[in-house]
Structure 1
Amino acid sequence: MIKYPFLEKGATIGVTAPSSGVDEELHNMFKQSCERMEKEGYKVVCGETVWTQEKAKSSSAQKRANEFNNMMQDENIDLIIPPWGGELLIEILEELDFEKLNKKWILGYSDTSLLLLLAITLKTGIATAHGTNIIDLRGEFSDETTAMWQKVLSTEIGNSITQYSSDKYQKEWQHSNPSPCVFHLTEETQWKTISTDKVKIRGRLLGGCIDIIRHLIGTPFGNVHEFRKNHIENEPVIWYFENCDLTTTDLRRSLVQMKLAGWFENCSGILFGRSDANHPVEDYFIEDVYTELSNELQIPIIYDIDCGHLPPQITLINGALAEVKAENGKGTILQHFKE
């Protein structure tokens, strides 16, 4: 059974940095995000870890874990959104108190939340949300794709919600050239497929930043077999991945390792987000990686979807039952909040 949190109006957002905090020169930019959320009717509570950054992390593993545990157990905090990603969230996993985590949304992507998101859903069956982080919600308005995070997290158990592929995406970050919606959406979005032009996939969503979540393999925090058995009655799984930094060969190694670890058993399809990584090695291109994987697993693959470090992002719920369609460069994701 999957346990879905629910986002109420006027909710209190807890901001903690289980990976990277915010450098001092960027404090004002982060404060804009908090002010924007307060104008939207939310309350914002920031932990101490948000304001510090040293040696590639916000603070010690114990302090980061303690702050996260406390926010998850605090009944006055309704959801948690880290400021952004980072590098070393994995250090805190063994310090998390999974048995005492209250049912509340965690929203984010990259290291800070994706490793945390997948591990929590696999261990507890609590649904978690892959999508925007709070630093990217500081604009005067959000694009239609990003703005859906509120509606998605306010979906009631038993109901469904549909999201659509974006019209345009951002090719590169321009923090020195701020825009009213934060992102500079200049490139045409094209969802692409392997093997057939029209694809339809149904299954339970699981995934995240592949650079990070691959490190869960072989640990107590990445037991996909137990998750299938205990929480989704062995229903098919749709995996979604986004690649932050991996070359094509490193991505291929990671996917083969996942296959050997049994992560792709009863997998109905795989979604890959847009990436400015995927750098070819010799004549081995990203399309080769996707084609080989599709042929080996005999499943459809959709790629360049709205997911990851080239925003905007669709809000994907780990554990939700999804129907994904792609045709003529466009796509839809219908998520059912089925227990």
Structure 2
Amino acid sequence: MIRYPLLSRGATIGVTAPSSGLPDELHPLLKLACSRMENKGYRIAYGDTVWTQSKAKSAPARMRADEFNEMMRNQDVHAIIPPWGGELLIEILEALEFEHMSAKWILGYSDISLLLLAITLRTGIATAHGVNLIDMRGEYQDATTAMWQNVLSTEADGSIVQHSSTKYQKEWDHHDPSPCVFHLTEPTCWQSVTNREVRMEGRLLGGCVDVIRHLIGTPYGDVREFREQFVSGDPVIWYFENCELTTTDLRRSFVQMKLAGWFEQCSGILIGRSGANQAVNGYTAEDVYHDLTDELQVPIVYDIDCGHVPPQITLINGAYAKVHVEDGKGTIIQHFS
């Protein structure tokens, strides 16, 4: 069975940096984000790692792992939200105390998604793929982003409905801050490879392709064992987003996942918008999706609200989801069962 944490009013949020921390000049952004959380009624417990950044990481791997392990053991910390992603979270995996992890929400994306997927696969604890803490610093949040609180406050055996956004942010403009952080200007359109209505259901698993692909062949990426042990063989809906990969690298990654058995009993695939997807010799992202559809014979929906082109829906690794996409709009119902 999947174990679902519950975010309650007045909860203490642990802020640690298992990947990247913040250099001195960016400390005010984190403090502002945390003050917004405190205004919502949460308490903040800072780790030392969030205040440092050197050589592509917040701190040495052992220090990052120890701090994360301590927050997972600490009963006074009710959820963990890192400031943002980074590059080298994978260094801490072998030092994590999976056998002692209690059920508390961990929320994030990008490099954090590698941590999220590894924890759910190894422990059966649901984890939350969604907004980073640093992006909560705005005076208010758009409706899609703001759903993270509702999702994480859903009780076990309950369900939560989320809809595709109305508009998305085409590119980051850090020199022109806005009250909402995100500049949502472009019409959102979820697209299916077949250009037809799509319905799919199954257990959600996924994250940023750039990093979660490195779980393949390790003790932290055994999807088959997860399905047998925690979800009674239920089918899987995979969700992915591409941060920096070219289309051929994306294609290689999907083929490797297929060869590793990740797509066995797959009922469908959701793929987020991307600012990457650089075509190689005319080979486009849409070509990648068509090739994968032909091979797997499952529905694929792309340009969904997930990843580095915000806003994004909060997707729960391990939750049983029902997805409906029609006329460019999408609905995802997640059941915490």
Matches for 1:136-285 after TM superposition, within 5 Å: 136-285=135-284
Amino acid at match of 2:81: I
**Tell me, which stretches of 5 or more residues in structure 1 are unaligned?**
none
Q: Which residue of 1 aligns with 2:297?
A: 298
For residue 171 of structure 1, report the CA deviation from its aligned partner: 1.0
- 1:267-322 C-alpha deviation (Å, 9 max, x unpaired): 00000000010110011011110001011100000000000000001000000000
Asked if 1:128 is matched to 2:127, the reply is yes
Tell me the secondary structure at the aligned position of residue 302 of structure 1. Answer: strand
User: Could you say what secondary structure the match of 1:50 adopts?
Assistant: helix
The RMSD of aligned alpha carbons is 0.5
SS in 1 for 2:14: strand
Question: In structure 2, how many angstroms separate the alpha carbons of the residues matched to 1:238 and 1:166?
Answer: 20
Name the TM-score, length of structure 1 as normaliser: 0.99
Unaligned runs of 5+ in 2: none
Distance 1:154 1:39 in 2: 17
Q: What is the alpha-carbon distance in structure 2 between the residues aligned to residue 234 and residue 205 of structure 1?
A: 13
Instruction: Provide the residue aligned with 1:327 in structure 2.
Output: 326
TM-score between the two structures when normalised by the length of structure 2: 0.99
CA distance in 2, matches of 1:26, 1:171: 23
What secondary structure is seen at the aligned counterpart in 2 of 1:150?
Answer: helix
Distance 2:228 2:289 in 1: 28
Offset of 1:153 from its aligned partner? 0.4
Percent of counterpart pairs with the same letter? 68
Within 2, Cα distance between the matches of 1:17 and 1:146? 21
Equivalent residues in 2 for 1:38-187, closer than 5 Å = 38-111=38-111, 113-187=112-186
Structure 1 residue 196: deviation in Å?
4.0
> Which shows bigger deviation, 170-179 or 280-289?
170-179
Q: 1:29 Cα shift?
A: 1.1
Moved over 2 A (4+): none
Amino acid paired to 1:145: T
SS in 2 for 1:263: coil
Aligned equivalents of 2:184 and 2:26: distance in 1? 23
Residue 125 of structure 2: SS of its match in structure 1?
Answer: coil
State how far apart, in whole Å, the 2-side matches of 1:46 and 1:186 are: 34
> How far apart in 1 are the matches of 2:14 and 2:158?
26
2:207 alignment partner, SS class:
strand
In the TM superposition, what is the alpha-carbon distance from 1:250 to its structure 2 partner?
A: 0.2
Q: CA deviation at 1:6?
A: 0.3
Query: Residue 116 of structure 2: SS of its match in structure 1?
Result: helix
Query: How many angstroms apart in 1 are the aligned matches of 2:31 and 2:158?
Result: 34
